A = this chain, B = another copy of it.
Amino acid sequence: MSSSQDTGRSVLRSLNTGAVLRAVVESGPVSRAGIARATNLSAVTVGAIAGELLGQDLIVENGDTDATAGRPGRLLELNSGAYGSIGVKLSDRSVTGVLTDLRSKVLAEASRPLEHPSAEDFVRVLRDLTTSLTADAGMDWDRLLGVGIGLPGVVDRGAGTAVYSPFLQWIDVPVAELAETALGLPVIVENDVNTLALAERWFGRGQGVQDFLLVTVGQGIGLGVVLGGELHGGARGGVGELGHMVVTDADEACSCGSTGCLEAVASEGALLRQSEVLTQRSGSDPVLDMDELYHRAESDPDHADLVDVAGERIGRGVANLINVLSPELVLVRGPGRFEGSRLAARMTESVAHHTFAGLAGRTELRVEHLDDMPWARGAASLVLSELFMSPATAPGAKAMRSGRIQ
């Protein structure tokens, strides 16, 4: 793991090393011969690369294949505990961090309040959080591969900047640079929903799926797009504003300046506002949160309507995405109260109704639970993803992207 900067090392080897590493990660414990079959590389090459990876402590030998005939193969598997990755989720009031192993298993977690969401404050808190996590997990500092940071808003991952984050009120903040100088570790910044999508791609429902979408439903409505196995970032990283898709003629003003956005007509905030109008008109008790709103919908037809309309609209948005991108899988994740709710049910119906017939049955829709921790865990997987995609450049240095193949 020492000499990661040998520029002479060919990109070809790097690609093949990546392929071997991915085979180990994805095909569990596997023999060298098995890797050779999976990657189409020669046994010799696999042997050599496996030797390097063993030397780097990234993989370990662990037991043999039970051979029916012939010499049993020595099983190789990821040495999960050898290195760690730190993931940080930034919201407007707090910073949540985790330290994970190479398999994205959480080894330590912690949270800190963020009084003023200024970049300086954040970096200070980040430094504290990172040292604390490393101590908690009992991990050597130089075994850290890097830090992934997920934050809401438009993020330019290549430049490492927060381009525009309304929640944090950040505009063009060079987050990665600030954090790198403060920590002395490689830092990757990404939109928070994207980090979640990446975690799904490597360790969740998206494993082995080429094209999938992750939709997060909650305070806002977010979207992560994985196409061809890779996260789509878009021009300067501004992807996934599903909350500002328009699927109705209702022209409620949205905070973004447009009208009729999903976020303005079907987000949790929008539902609570709509409920307030209803309860004021009827003189009934006000509804304070979503749990209560779902409960009210069971008895009050007006509230039921309200939820139905919102579900139909969110479903339209999801169906629109399916019609346009035709992914294999759409994963809708929301807080506990969302899964199994009337809102989710209506949404599912609406998706089925509005999906183009020619594409029917081609896309799977899953509605699942979303805790808080995966956000930070997703950010940690940013670093792991870089490792698995281009191990030659990791750890220790920024990804070299010369474009040249040598």
Contacts and interface: CB of A to CB of B under 8 A. Distances in A.
B247 A247 contact: yes
A308 to B, nearest CB: 13
Given A232-B228, A239-B324, A325-B225, A358 B166 contact: yes
Given A323-B244, A404-B41, A405-B12, A328 B239 contact: no
A240 interface: yes
A362 B235 CA distance: 7
Contact of A12 (B12, B210, B248): B12
Given A19-B405, A359-B241, A210 B232 contact: no
A15 to B, nearest CB: 5
A235 to B, nearest CB: 4
Contacts of A32: none
Interface string A318-360: 0111011111100000000000000000000000011111110
A234 B325 contact: yes
Contact of A357 (B227, B245, B257): B257
A44 to B, nearest CB: 12
A40 B405 CA distance: 8
Contact of A353 (B154, B258, B316, B405): B258
A166 B357 CA distance: 10
Contacts of A257: 357
A210 to B, nearest CB: 7
A273 interface: no
A159 to B, nearest CB: 14
A239 B166 contact: no
A232 B324 CA distance: 10
A250 interface: yes
Contacts of A321: 324
B40 A256 contact: no
A230 B359 CA distance: 22
B232 A325 contact: yes
Interface in A301-323: 316, 319-321, 323
A211 interface: yes
Q: Which 5 A-B pairs rank lowest in CB-CB distance, beginning with the nearest?
A: A234-B326, A40-B404, A241-B323, A238-B326, A244-B356
Given A235-B328, A246-B316, A258-B355, 15 more contacts: A12-B405, A39-B403, A40-B403, A41-B405, A153-B358, A241-B358, A241-B359, A244-B356, A246-B247, A256-B358, A257-B357, A258-B319, A258-B357, A259-B354, A324-B324
14 contacts: A16-B405, A225-B324, A225-B325, A227-B227, A239-B326, A241-B324, A241-B326, A241-B358, A241-B359, A248-B249, A249-B249, A249-B250, A256-B357, A320-B320
Interface of A: 10, 12, 15-16, 19, 39-41, 153-154, 163-164, 166, 210-211, 223, 225, 227-228, 230, 232, 234-242, 244-250, 256-261, 316, 319-321, 323-328, 353-359, 362-363, 402-406
